[in-house]
C-alpha cells in the first residue's frame, strides 16, 4: 500500500522550501534547523502553491506511469510523481 500523508501538499512543499533556505543540507548554514523551519514555513505558502500549480498538467511520462499503477488513486499519484522526478533526473 502507498503511504498516505496527513500533512497537506502545500505545507509539505512550504516546509521543504524553508528547509532548503535554512538547513545546512540545503543552501543554509543551520545544522539543526527544525525549530526555525517550524516557525517560518508558513512564509513559503505562496511559493508552495505556485509549485503545486505547475503539477496540474501531467507530462506524457506521468500519464503513462499513472495508467500502469492500477486503479488505486494513491498508487497512481505516487507513480506519476515518481515519473516526473525521473524526468528531472535525466535532465540534470
pLDDT digits (tens, 9 = 90+) for 18-51: 999 988 777 777 788 889 989 999 999 999 999 9
| Residue among 58, 59, 80, 57 at smallest CA distance from 68 | 80
pLDDT over 60 (residue 56): yes
Q: Between the CA atoms of 7, 56, 73 and 65, what dihedral angle is there, to the nearest 10 degrees?
A: -120
Same domain, 23 and 48: yes
Same domain, 22 and 52: yes
Nearest-5° Cα angle at 64, 62 to 65: 65
pTM: 0.73
Same domain, 34 and 46: yes
| Residues spanned by the domain of 52 | 7-56
pLDDT over 50 (residue 63): yes
Position 35 in a domain: yes
Same domain, 16 and 47: yes
Number of domains in the chain: 2
pLDDT over 90 (residue 76): no
Position 2 in a domain: no
Amino acid at each position: 500500500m502507498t503511504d498516505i500523508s496527513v500533512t497537506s501538499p502545500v505545507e509539505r512543499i512550504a516546509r521543504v522550501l524553508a528547509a532548503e533556505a535554512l538547513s545546512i543540507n540545503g543552501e543554509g548554514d543551520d545544522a539543526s534547523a527544525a525549530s526555525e523551519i517550524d516557525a517560518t514555513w508558513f512564509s513559503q505558502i505562496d511559493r508552495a502553491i505556485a509549485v503545486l500549480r505547475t503539477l496540474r498538467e501531467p507530462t506524457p511520462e506521468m500519464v503513462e506511469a499513472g495508467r500502469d499503477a492500477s486503479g488505486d488513486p494513491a498508487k497512481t499519484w505516487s507513480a506519476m510523481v515518481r515519473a516526473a522526478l525521473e524526468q528531472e533526473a535525466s535532465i540534470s
